[in-house]
Amino acid sequence: MTGHYTLRYHLARGRNYKKWQLKKMSPVGKFAMATEYHRPDGFVALLHNCKLRNHGSVAKRIHDGMNKTVCAWVEFDDYHLVGGEHLPRILMGQTDKRYMYNPRKHPHWVSGVSDNEDNAVVPLMLVHNRNLYGIAE
């Protein structure tokens, strides 16, 4: 599954509310060639060569009280879906940071060690249910 992808937590009302939105992006231009949605319970994936993206000005307005709109996502080059119930536990032992994003609380991507992880490059990221973790190298 090589290419250019984006992942975000979909909060728009409708049948895909509170699901992970995974888009395969065009190598030219900024449009999605394919979009799929995954229920967070049981969704486990490894993302390769990630970058945490954020529209800072939109996030600041949401932080100040504006209605939520799309303002943050993860860009990455490749991914693999992970199966089996024991594998996520093994992978969880390898994580070194949990990344979080909620513009109502803070207008940046945050982790346990930094209050601004915007544009952070994460070589390997684990998506487990509704959480994002960096995997130690």
Q: In this predicted model, what pLDDT tens digit does every residue of 2-32 receive, in sequence order? A: 569 999 999 889 999 999 999 999 988 778 9
| Mean per-residue pLDDT, 74-86 | 87
At residue 89 the predicted structure's pLDDT band, cuts being 50, 70 and 90, is: confident
Strand partners, 60: none
State the Cα angle at 9 between 109 and 123, rounded to 5°. Answer: 55
Give Dmax (Cα) for the chain.
42
User: What residue has token string 């049981």?
Assistant: 42
Q: Are residues 79 and 46 in contact, defined by beta-carbon separation less than 8 angstroms?
A: yes
The percent of residues above 70 in pLDDT, for the chain, comes to 93
Q: Report the distance separating Cα 116 and Cα 120, nearest Å.
A: 9
CA 63 and chain centroid, separation: 19
Per-residue pLDDT reduced to its tens digit, 27-36: 887 789 999 9
Instruction: Provide the pairing of β-strand 121-128 with 131-135.
Output: antiparallel
Residue 3, pLDDT score: 63
Is residue 73 within a helix (H) or strand (E), and if so which, with residue range?
strand 72-81
- Given a cut of 50, whether residue 75 has pLDDT beyond it is yes
Query: Across residues 57-85, what is the average pLDDT?
Result: 89
Q: What is the DSSP letter of 112?
A: S
> What pLDDT, on the 0 to 100 scale, is given for residue 1?
45
The sign of the dihedral angle between the CA atoms of 58, 64, 66, 71 is: positive
Asked which of 70-84, 85-99, 115-129 is least confident by mean pLDDT, the reply is 85-99
